[in-house]
A = this chain, B = another copy of it.
Amino acid sequence: MVTATGYAAKHSFSRLKPIEIERDPPKANEVQIDVLYCGVCHSDIHQCENDWGNTVYPCMPGHEVVGRVSAKGASVTKHEVGDLVGVGCMIDSCHECGPCKAGDEQYCEGPNSWLATYNGPMKPAAQAKTGTNMYGRDNTFGGYSDVLVVREDFVLKIPASIPVEAAAPILCAGVTTYSPMKHWGVKAGDKVGVVGFGGLGDMAVKIAVAMGADVTVFTTTKEKVAEAEKLGAKGVVEGDKEASEALEGQFDFILSTIPEKHKIDPFIPLLKHDAAYVSVGALAPMPGWNHMPVIMGRKSIAGSLIGSIAETQEVLDFCAEHGIAPDVQVIPIQEINEAYKKVKSGDVRFRYVIDSASLAQEKAEAA
């Protein structure tokens, strides 16, 4: 067994604390990864606090992982020991269903759906109609730890030109915003709206600008307007009626990155006919909306979930090619609970990234 040290929540109301876990050593098609950095996603907080009612404890989050391959199974061909690699939200899927065969693993329709990097399969045994678990486990432990063991085809290559610590959030925040823009066909010259300007919004703006779109950020925080402009976007303060009215019927695509329930009524009239408002963050009950302007313009309110493994590699390469990367603030893991508080307040635009070297201290103390 491989002993891993990490941080986990034991209950929905507890702070994250150090724990030790055992991981299986790499099978023939798996690699072992020494973690260098792990991004802090708003989902980590939702999951630790059991906001979706499906958390298995202890909950060790982390699905924006960058590290180096330290060992590999006999049949591994994609990665070599020493390679700089990444692990995103998924570490396996059924490989048999329509979406899996089409390369859309994030919509896996297998009996247990896909296997999340932490918190286990999307459909644990109890929820699966078969009552079984093809992955053999109902919990997984994520990248808030010093070592990970993952199937080689769910491991991404990190381009050398991206700063290592900044590569981590591309694995979730990057692909979550890139995938819907690709799916809904965002192209140069399109007018794109980005609602919410935290970690996901930051990546959405950078990617959309790099795609050649004309980008407008909608934010509740006045101070973020100037930050949007620095990235080559326009900024509008939500609730500014005059600015909104001037933008009616103009957007080809609006991406909402708000990780909570939110009113969509201010945004639907801004869409062109046949355009979509896609919310990737609100895994939650939403308030009522006025369907009249949706009908009047054949508009869509849609959702999108992370992105496929192929798209994750694509967005990593896209970021390298365009010289873009998330704004990050590196913290030792001992500051994780403070970081959660700040992310929850909605004030931070950058992404917190854990420097996994800080886990050495816990290891020393445990020894």
Give the B-binding residues of A (Cβ under 8 A). 52, 99, 104, 107, 109, 122, 180, 183, 249, 261, 273-274, 276, 279-280, 282-292, 294-305
User: Do the beta carbons of B300 and A290 come within 8 Å of each other?
Assistant: no
Take A107-B273, A273-B99 as given contacts and tell me if A291 and B300 are in contact as well, using a CB distance cutoff of 8 Å.
no
User: Do the beta carbons of B273 and A295 come within 8 Å of each other?
Assistant: no
User: Do the beta carbons of A294 and B302 come within 8 Å of each other?
Assistant: yes
User: Do the beta carbons of A285 and B285 come within 8 Å of each other?
Assistant: no
* Docked complex Cα distance between A295 and B294 (Å): 18
**Nearest neighbor of A287 in chain B, beta-carbon distance:** B288
User: Do the beta carbons of B305 and A280 come within 8 Å of each other?
Assistant: no
Q: Which residues of chain B are near A302, meaning CB under 8 Å?
A: 294, 298-301
Q: Which residues of chain B are near A183, meaning CB under 8 Å?
A: 298
Q: Which residues of chain B are near A287, meaning CB under 8 Å?
A: 288
**Nearest neighbor of A295 in chain B, beta-carbon distance:** B303
Question: A297: shortest Cβ distance to chain B, in Å?
Answer: 6
Take A109-B249, A285-B290, A291-B284 as given contacts and tell me if A300 and B297 are in contact as well, using a CB distance cutoff of 8 Å.
no
Contact of A300 among B109, B122, B300 (CB under 8 A): B300
Q: Which of A52, A280, A283 has most B Cβ within 10 Å? A: A283
Take A296-B303, A296-B305, A305-B298 as given contacts and tell me if A288 and B288 are in contact as well, using a CB distance cutoff of 8 Å.
yes
* Docked complex Cα distance between A289 and B288 (Å): 7
Q: List 26 A-B contacts (CB under 8 A).
A: A52-B292, A104-B273, A109-B249, A109-B273, A180-B298, A183-B298, A279-B291, A283-B291, A283-B296, A284-B290, A285-B289, A285-B291, A285-B292, A286-B289, A286-B290, A288-B288, A294-B301, A294-B302, A295-B304, A296-B303, A296-B305, A297-B303, A297-B305, A298-B304, A300-B300, A301-B302
* Docked complex Cα distance between A107 and B290 (Å): 18
Take A273-B99, A273-B107, A300-B300 as given contacts and tell me if A283 and B295 are in contact as well, using a CB distance cutoff of 8 Å.
yes
Q: Which residues of chain B are near A291, meaning CB under 8 Å?
A: 261, 279, 282-286, 303
User: Do the beta carbons of B290 and A288 come within 8 Å of each other?
Assistant: no
Further pairs besides A109-B273, A286-B290, A300-B301: 20, Cβ < 8 Å: A99-B273, A107-B273, A107-B274, A122-B296, A180-B298, A279-B294, A280-B295, A283-B292, A283-B295, A283-B296, A284-B290, A285-B288, A286-B291, A288-B288, A291-B303, A294-B301, A296-B303, A299-B302, A299-B303, A300-B300
Q: Which of A107, A298, A300 has most B Cβ within 10 Å? A: A298
Take A287-B288, A289-B286 as given contacts and tell me if A297 and B107 are in contact as well, using a CB distance cutoff of 8 Å.
yes
Shortest Cβ-Cβ A-B pairs, 3 listed: A295-B303, A294-B303, A300-B302
Take A104-B273, A107-B273, A273-B107 as given contacts and tell me if A298 and B289 are in contact as well, using a CB distance cutoff of 8 Å.
no
* Docked complex Cα distance between A274 and B109 (Å): 13
User: Do the beta carbons of B276 and A295 come within 8 Å of each other?
Assistant: no
Question: A94: shortest Cβ distance to chain B, in Å?
Answer: 14
* Docked complex Cα distance between A11 and B180 (Å): 47
Question: A195: shortest Cβ distance to chain B, in Å?
Answer: 14
Q: Which residues of chain B are near A284, meaning CB under 8 Å?
A: 290-292
Q: Which residues of chain B are near A261, meaning CB under 8 Å?
A: 291
